[in-house]
């Protein structure tokens, strides 16, 4: 074997094809960097001009993650095809295979297409974002990841649910713009309702004025109406607006303070009772 000839051929290949392949790889990194920065700048400009302050970070994170993944995939597929061409491998069969795969998807992949199309509309319509608390059909939890095909929601038990977009029928977002405390407070039938209303509104104002909790309260919890004459209690409807995702903590603190105020004012929170009438003998 003529080792000198082999070495010369390898060196010639490296100086020709090798340099081109290296330039393709470097060019792919540069192109991806340019596109990612351009997409980031454009997306930030659009989101910051349209979104409310509370949702900007979530919206940006969701859109950028999807756009960057799609851009990276497209750039490296293009680079891979160019590298195969430099290696002397015809890329025509790959393109033909992609066409055949497209036909196969058209016949058997309608569910994937449905997931992708629905995913595009979910993202464009800003139905929910990464970090939002949502109820998708019967599943409630925090959105931890969104792709064009699926959404991953983690519920309170820590279970991760991967939901194909095409199967989603109904979405409830608990995190947009504001959240609401909506409580039915039961008091005894012997209670003075005017006094009960005064105590409820006072506790709500105190919560809104509190240095720690007040920053989360947009509208102090207050009495709205007598909701119902229940079997063992009169139900008082109490409503207040808070910042997104703070409704559960603020409602818990409001209940704690209201229980203490009721105890101080002698207002009874009744529990279910059964009255038994004993027949006369």
Owner of token pair 């909790």: 213
In the predicted structure, residue 212 carries a pLDDT above the cut 60: yes
Residues listed for the chain: 281
Q: With respect to residue 49, please indicate whether it lies within any of the assigned structural domains.
A: yes
Task: Write the pLDDT tens digit of every residue in 223-233.
Answer: 999 999 988 89
Under DSSP, the state recorded for 189 is: T
- What is the domain range of residue 88? 3-108
Structural domain total, the chain = 3
Q: With respect to residue 55, please indicate whether it lies within any of the assigned structural domains.
A: yes
Q: What's the pLDDT band for 210 if we cut at 50, 70, 90?
A: very high
Q: Is 191 exposed, middle or buried (0-12, 13-18, 19+ CB in 10 A)?
A: buried
Q: With respect to residue 276, please indicate whether it lies within any of the assigned structural domains.
A: no
Q: With respect to residue 74, please indicate whether it lies within any of the assigned structural domains.
A: yes
CA 40, chain centre distance (Å): 20
CATH number, domain of 134, equals: 2.30.30.60
In angstroms, the Cα distances linking 95 to 27, 78, 91 are: 22, 11, 6
The listed range with the strongest mean pLDDT (1-15, 62-76, 86-100) is 62-76
Question: Do 147 and 241 sit in the same domain of this protein?
Answer: no
In the predicted structure, residue 42 carries a pLDDT above the cut 70: yes
In angstroms, the Cα distances linking 52 to 57, 58, 177, 221, 277 are: 10, 11, 7, 23, 60
What pLDDT does residue 249 have?
Answer: 93
What pLDDT does residue 89 have?
Answer: 72
Do 129 and 55 contact (CB within 8 A), yes or no?
yes
What pLDDT does residue 141 have?
Answer: 93
Question: Do 92 and 135 sit in the same domain of this protein?
Answer: no
Q: What's the pLDDT band for 219 if we cut at 50, 70, 90?
A: very high
CATH number, domain of 237, equals: 3.30.70.100
Q: What's the pLDDT band for 40 if we cut at 50, 70, 90?
A: confident
Rounded average pLDDT over 51-62 = 61
Rounded average pLDDT over 262-273 = 84
Rounded average pLDDT over 208-223 = 93
Question: Do 63 and 140 sit in the same domain of this protein?
Answer: no
Q: With respect to residue 119, please indicate whether it lies within any of the assigned structural domains.
A: no
In angstroms, the Cα distances linking 260 to 114, 203, 253, 263 are: 54, 10, 11, 5
Question: Do 75 and 165 sit in the same domain of this protein?
Answer: no
Rounded average pLDDT over 40-62 = 63
Question: Do 92 and 151 sit in the same domain of this protein?
Answer: no
Q: Which of 74, 79, 88 is nearest to 22 (CA)?
A: 79
Q: With respect to residue 220, please indicate whether it lies within any of the assigned structural domains.
A: yes
Q: Which of 90-99, 236-245, 247-256 has the lowest mean pLDDT?
A: 90-99
Question: Do 156 and 218 sit in the same domain of this protein?
Answer: no
Question: Do 49 and 132 sit in the same domain of this protein?
Answer: no
Q: Which of 31, 114, 140, 41 is nearest to 79 (CA)?
A: 31
pLDDT above 70: percentage of residues in the chain: 77
CATH number, domain of 82, equals: 1.10.287
Q: With respect to residue 235, please indicate whether it lies within any of the assigned structural domains.
A: yes
Q: What's the pLDDT band for 149 if we cut at 50, 70, 90?
A: confident
- Structure token pair of residue 125: 């319509």
Q: With respect to residue 118, please indicate whether it lies within any of the assigned structural domains.
A: no
Question: Do 17 and 57 sit in the same domain of this protein?
Answer: yes
Do 176 and 56 contact (CB within 8 A), yes or no?
no
């Amino acid at each position: 074997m003529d080792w000198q000839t082999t070495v010369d051929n390898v060196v010639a290949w490296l100086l020709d094809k090798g340099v081109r392949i290296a330039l393709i790889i470097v060019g792919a990194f540069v192109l991806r960097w340019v596109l990612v920065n351009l997409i980031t700048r454009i997306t930030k400009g659009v989101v910051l001009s349209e979104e409310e302050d509370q949702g900007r970070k979530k919206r940006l994170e969701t859109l950028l993650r999807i756009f960057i993944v799609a851009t990276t995939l497209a750039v490296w597929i293009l680079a891979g095809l160019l590298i195969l061409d430099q290696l002397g491998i015809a890329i025509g069969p790959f393109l033909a295979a992609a066409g055949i795969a497209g036909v196969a998807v058209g016949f058997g992949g309608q569910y994937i297409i449905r997931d992708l199309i629905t995913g595009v509309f979910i993202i464009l319509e800003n139905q929910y974002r990464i970090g939002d608390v949502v109820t998708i059909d019967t599943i409630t939890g925090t959105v931890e990841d969104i792709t064009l095909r699926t959404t991953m929601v983690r519920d309170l038990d820590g279970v991760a649910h991967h939901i194909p977009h095409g199967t989603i029928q109904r979405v409830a977002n608990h995190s947009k713009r504001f959240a609401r405390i909506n409580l039915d407070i039961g008091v005894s039938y012997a209670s003075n309702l005017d006094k009960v209303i005064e105590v409820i509104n006072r506790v709500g104002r105190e919560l809104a004025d509190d240095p720690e909790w007040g920053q989360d309260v947009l509208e102090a919890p207050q009495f709205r109406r007598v909701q119902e004459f229940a079997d063992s209690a009169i139900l008082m409807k109490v409503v207040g607006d808070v910042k997104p995702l703070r409704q559960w903590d603020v409602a818990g603190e409001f209940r704690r303070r209201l229980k203490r105020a009721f105890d101080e004012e002698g207002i009874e929170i009744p529990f279910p009772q059964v009255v038994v009438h004993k027949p006369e003998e």
